[in-house]
């Protein structure tokens, strides 16, 4: 692309990626690094007939909510998108994104906007996937997140959203990997932080040399972490050495403890997870005489707290490994009024749903693709449908799509919705919604 002359735009809003949105000469321009109500100078790097993607070259009139990013790598690293926006303003922007999707996609507005759930802005991230590259021209090993819109690994020595002691490990990790025989065959490190243990899972493409093991064991001893390896699929993940402590998180409010494997899905932000579960219970209001379904139940994150109410709970999950873990967690915690089943909820049909029997209430916590087939399987006439649904979402677009079906086809009312800032400084929007039948 030929060198462009910078242009000027007035920013109207933020998009789902945390970019400023403007209209210039009849086209939508998505401008990285720009905030609402700012005037910026920009240069486009991705030009289509109806829109352009651009980068801010100069802020001509700054927003009062613009702040200095807390990380020196912000702007290059693709891990965060909104550090230049004041923290409470980030949450407000996510609330607007949720409301905009509910209206523009679902043509629905909630009767009540729930107060946002916020947490600490820094050092919150207990699960992460770090990329690794050996690049001799850049001085050796790189460990970190990808650069923005790139497959290149960011040159970074710290990360402000990882726990502080993990951030401090980035430089020692680079040194360790640079000493290994497989330094060019180690593309990724999965981080999993529990309450008493921390696991660094090394994804390796060739076998370790026997000379590597003393280096790895010494690293474990010095920094108090567990090193695991994974050679192929998830079943090949295993610890390099014997350890006493295992990964787990707890929900003290419900007297629950959850052991988990580093490859199993858990929420990245344990503080927000606890408050999210409390809100879900407040909205669901489980009672001892009810039968409640927890769809996409994972390892029982919501299932077991619901069961503490005395309700009979039926958890459904598509992953066999997570169903096994959920059963183990129920047994460990002495929770017997639960049942778990493996089922692909993306292939749900009205007939299969009817076979599960009647439920008074549902809790749904699907992945980004949402729960459309499950929602569509509900009867249109409402006979046998649950009276209340609590929907936890990590994608406001699919939430809005599914809520549209529930309200416009299945005769539910959207009583309340709100956001939970599970991923501060990113544009990721976690939300929760309450739906009821009249």
Active site residues: 394
The HSE-up count of residue 224 (CA atoms within 13 Å, CB side) is 7
- Give the phi and the psi of residue 99 in degrees, each rounded to 5: -65, -40
C-alpha span between 390 and 365 (Å, rounded): 9
Dmax (CA) of the chain: 69
| H helices present in 225-349, as ranges | 270-284, 303-307, 320-332
131-to-143, 151, 263 alpha-carbon distances in Å: 6, 9, 16
Residue 301 marked in a binding site: yes
Residue 269 marked in a binding site: no
Give me the torsion for CA of 69, 72, 78, 82, rounded to 10°: 0
Closest by CA position to 108, among listed 416, 437, 420, 427: 416
C-alpha span between 406 and 434 (Å, rounded): 11
Reading the block at residue 229, the tokens are 């390896």
Question: Do 170 and 142 meet the contact criterion of CB atoms below 8 Å apart?
Answer: no
Residue 365 marked in a binding site: yes
Residue 317 marked in a binding site: yes
Residue 80 marked in a binding site: yes
Residue 297 marked in a binding site: no
Residue 219 marked in a binding site: no
Residue 41 marked in a binding site: no
Please give the angle made by the CA atoms of 264, 308 and 278, to the nearest 5 degrees: 70
Q: Which residues line the annotated binding site for [4Fe-4S] cluster?
A: 71, 77, 80, 159
Please state the residue numbers annotated as binding site for S-adenosyl-L-methionine: 267, 296, 301, 317, 344, 365
As annotated, the binding site includes 71, 77, 80, 159, 267, 296, 301, 317, 344, 365
């Amino acid at each position: 692309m030929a060198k462009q002359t910078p242009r000027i735009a007035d920013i109207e809003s933020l998009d789902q990626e945390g970019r400023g949105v403007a209209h210039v000469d009849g086209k939508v321009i998505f401008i990285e690094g720009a905030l609402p109500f700012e005037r910026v100078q920009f240069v486009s790097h991705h030009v289509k007939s109806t829109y352009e993607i651009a980068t801010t070259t100069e802020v001509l009139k700054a927003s009062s909510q613009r702040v200095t990013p807390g990380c020196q790598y912000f702007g290059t690293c693709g891990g965060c998108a909104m550090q230049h926006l004041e923290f409470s303003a980030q949450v407000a922007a996510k609330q607007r994104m949720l409301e905009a999707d509910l209206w523009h996609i679902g043509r629905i507005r909630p009767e009540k906007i729930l107060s946002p759930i916020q947490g600490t802005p820094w050092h919150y991230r207990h699960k992460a996937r770090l990329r690794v590259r050996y690049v001799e021209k850049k001085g050796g090993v790189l460990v970190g997140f990808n650069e923005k819109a790139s497959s290149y690994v960011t040159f970074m020595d710290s990360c402000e959203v990882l726990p502080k002691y993990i951030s401090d490990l980035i430089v020692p990790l680079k040194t360790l990997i640079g000493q290994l025989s497989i330094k060019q065959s180690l593309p990724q490190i999965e981080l999993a932080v529990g309450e008493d243990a921390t696991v660094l899972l090394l994804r390796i493409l060739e076998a370790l040399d026997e000379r590597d093991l003393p280096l790895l064991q010494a690293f474990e001893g010095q920094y108090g972490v567990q090193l695991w390896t994974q050679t192929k699929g998830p079943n090949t993940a295993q610890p390099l050495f014997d350890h006493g402590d295992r990964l787990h998180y707890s929900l003290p409010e419900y007297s629950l403890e959850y052991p988990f494997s580093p490859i199993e899905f858990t929420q990245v932000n344990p503080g927000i997870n606890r408050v999210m579960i409390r809100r879900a219970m407040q909205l669901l209001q489980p009672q001892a005489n009810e039968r409640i379904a927890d769809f996409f139940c994972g390892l029982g994150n919501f299932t077991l707290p619901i069961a503490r109410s005395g309700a009979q709970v039926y958890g459904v999950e598509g992953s066999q490994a997570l169903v096994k873990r959920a059963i183990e967690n129920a047994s460990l915690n002495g929770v017997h009024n639960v049942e778990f089943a493996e089922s692909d909820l993306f292939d749900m049909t009205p007939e299969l749903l009817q076979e599960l029997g009647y439920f008074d209430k549902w809790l749904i916590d699907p992945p980004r693709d949402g729960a459309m087939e499950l929602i569509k399987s509900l009867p249109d006439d409402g006979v046998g449908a649950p009276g209340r649904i609590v929907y936890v979402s990590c994608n406001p677009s699919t939430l809005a799509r599914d809520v549209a079906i529930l309200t416009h086809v299945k005769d539910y009312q959207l009583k309340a919705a709100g956001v939970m800032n599970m991923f501060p400084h990113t544009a990721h929007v976690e939300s929760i919604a309450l739906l009821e039948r009249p």
